[in-house]
Amino acid sequence: MSEHDDCEQAVGLPCAPSAGDGARPGPRGNGEARGGGHGHSHGGHSHDHARASRTRLLMALGVTAGVMAAELVAAHVSGSLSLAADAGHMAVDSSGLVVALVAAHLMTRPRDDRHTWGWARSEVLAAALQAGMLAIICAIVAWEAVWRLVLPEAVEPVPMLVVGAVGLIANGASLLILMGGRGSSLNMRAAFLEVANDALGSVAVIAAAACALATGWSGADAVASLLIAALMAPRALGLLRKSIGILMERTPHRIELAQVREHMLAVPGVTRVHDLHVTTVATGLVAVTAHVEVSPAVDAHGRDLIVHSLGECAAHHFPVEIAHSTFQLECAEHAAHEHLAH
């Protein structure tokens, strides 16, 4: 049976959902439009993830801040740009982890009349801020590294090697701490990527120190700095792009809006779909809203069944589960009275 067949046959299902289903037939409105909502509750799971994330972030923050302090001292002693670059990167990461920690706390706050989605989107703001800081530090490091290649400066490779090794061990520990939660939210993914970049930066510092010890070429330090920036920049820009896309309410990349519309039109009684929006509120929470024109022959019970069918289709027939749906059912004449900005 095809997915379209499922959508069509769902209209024949009883209006009341099963006990394990979050769907409810939509309440009837007055006049021509009748609407309904459909959702699956993720509140408890979100709070559990947020609490676990706070513990992981606190542990990673302690490790990262300690290594950052050691690298700053060693960079001053050795004159190493790559070590200073990695310390600057870790300073950004430490502030990013603080932001992520605040966001993880805000995500546990309940919804209210002022914040109808709760504070779930704070994770997206935190991820965008972390990504922006990473992009800025990349530009600064790259600029300074180019000048170091043009006007080389002497470095002390032994402190670089020692602190680089300590940083690598510490970053490895932080990665193990954050690994279990990296898929729980965009916020945690940003934190994990920052620490992963720190680990790569430590490897670059060690390589530059080893090269300077073996050959005496101080330019290896500037090359390592450029490598750190090159490793950070694509991930930072990618995360920034994704965060901005969510804030701009762009359709999730795994959802084809035309396919969603096609599935909705396959439901018997539906004649037209317009003002269709699919957006990401926060990690794991995708919502759809639409105005759905129905045939005049459909009675009140039939409209309830259509709402139920549309919600079930949204929740189960696409690569990303659309967990929250709101549909306004209306007759064809109603569209002529709407004043949509677009």
Smallest CA-to-CA distance from 313 within 3, 81, 72 is with 3
Average the pLDDT over each of 219-233, 262-276, 293-307 and give the range with the smallest value: 219-233
* 175 or 301, higher pLDDT: 301
Within-domain flag for 162: yes
Partners of residue 326 on adjacent β-strands: 37, 289
Output the pLDDT for position 16. Answer: 35
Residues 307, 158: one domain?
no
pLDDT digits (tens, 9 = 90+) for 3-43: 555 555 544 443 333 333 333 333 333 333 444 544 444 44
Residue-number span of the structural domain to which 233 is assigned: 59-248
Do 121 and 111 form a contact (C-beta atoms < 8 A)? Answer: no
Kindly state the percentage of the chain with pLDDT values over 70.
78
For residue 270, pLDDT over 80 is answered with: yes
Last residue of a domain, one of 201, 219, 248: 248
Overall pTM > 0.75: no
Average pLDDT of the residues of the chain: 76
Q: Is the domain of 164 the same as that of 275?
A: no
**Residue 339 banded pLDDT, cuts 50, 70, 90:** low
pLDDT of amino acid 291? 93
Q: What pLDDT band is residue 82 in, cutting at 50, 70 and 90?
A: low
Please tell me what DSSP assigns to residue 37. Answer: E
- CA angle at residue 122 from 118 to 127, to 5 degrees? 155
Span 250-264, pLDDT tens digits = 998 889 999 999 999
Task: Give yes or no: residues 237 and 204 share one domain.
Answer: yes
Residue that is last in its domain, among 216, 248, 280:
248
Q: For 239, how many CA atoms within 13 A lie in the half-sphere containing its CB?
A: 28
> Confidence band (pLDDT; 50, 70, 90) for 187?
low
Cα–Cα separations (whole angstroms), residue 235 to 231, 253, 280, 301: 7, 17, 21, 51
Q: Name the percent of the chain lying above pLDDT 90.
A: 14
What gap in Å lies between CA 220 and CA 156, rounded to an integer?
12
Average pLDDT over residues 184-209: 75
Does residue 88 sit within a domain?
Answer: yes
Last residue of a domain, one of 248, 274, 296: 248
| Residue 138 and residue 270 share a domain | no
Let me know whether 242 and 309 are in one domain.
no
Q: Is residue 127 located within the same domain as residue 269?
A: no
271 and 221 housed in the same domain: no
Please check whether residue 131 lies inside any domain of the structure.
yes
pLDDT band at 242 (very low <50, low <70, confident <90, very high): confident
Residues 208 and 261 grouped into a single domain:
no
Is 158 part of a structural domain of the chain? yes
CATH assignment at residue 205: 1.20.1510
Q: Estimate to the nearest angstrom the gap between the alpha carbon of 336 and the chain centroid.
A: 38
Quick one: 220 and 264 in the same domain? no
pLDDT value for 12? 47
Q: Is residue 202 part of a domain?
A: yes
Alpha carbon 148 to its chain centroid, in Å, reads 36
What is the CATH number for 319? 3.30.70.1350
Looking at the structure, do residues 131 and 224 belong to the same domain, yes or no?
A: yes
Task: Check residue 307 and give its pLDDT.
Answer: 93
Residue 290, SS3?
strand
pLDDT digits (tens, 9 = 90+) for 291-318: 999 998 889 899 999 999 999 988 888 8
Q: Give 323's DSSP letter.
A: -
Say whether both 316 and 244 belong to one domain: no
In a domain, 13, yes or no: no
Contact yes or no for 134/234 (Cβ under 8 A): no
**pLDDT value, residue 327:** 93
- Cα–Cα distance, 336 to 131 (Å, whole number): 44
Query: Pick from 273, 278, 292, 217: which is nearest to 245 by CA?
Result: 278
Lowest mean pLDDT of 82-96, 116-130, 193-207, 266-280, name the range: 82-96
Look at residue 54 and tell me if it is in a domain.
no
Judge whether 127 and 243 are in contact, CB under 8 Å. yes
Tokens for 328?
Answer: 């306004």
Residue 277 lies in a domain: yes
Q: Classify strands 285-294 and 324-330 as parallel, antiparallel or unpaired.
A: parallel
Largest CA distance in the chain: 86
Say which residue, 197 or 285, is predicted with more confidence: 285
Q: Enumerate residues 6+ apart whose C-beta is below 8 A from 265.
A: 272, 273
Same domain, 91 and 216: yes
Q: Is the pLDDT of residue 174 over 60?
A: yes
pLDDT of residue 41: 43
pLDDT digits (tens, 9 = 90+) for 141-162: 888 888 888 877 777 788 778 8
Structural domains in the chain (count): 2
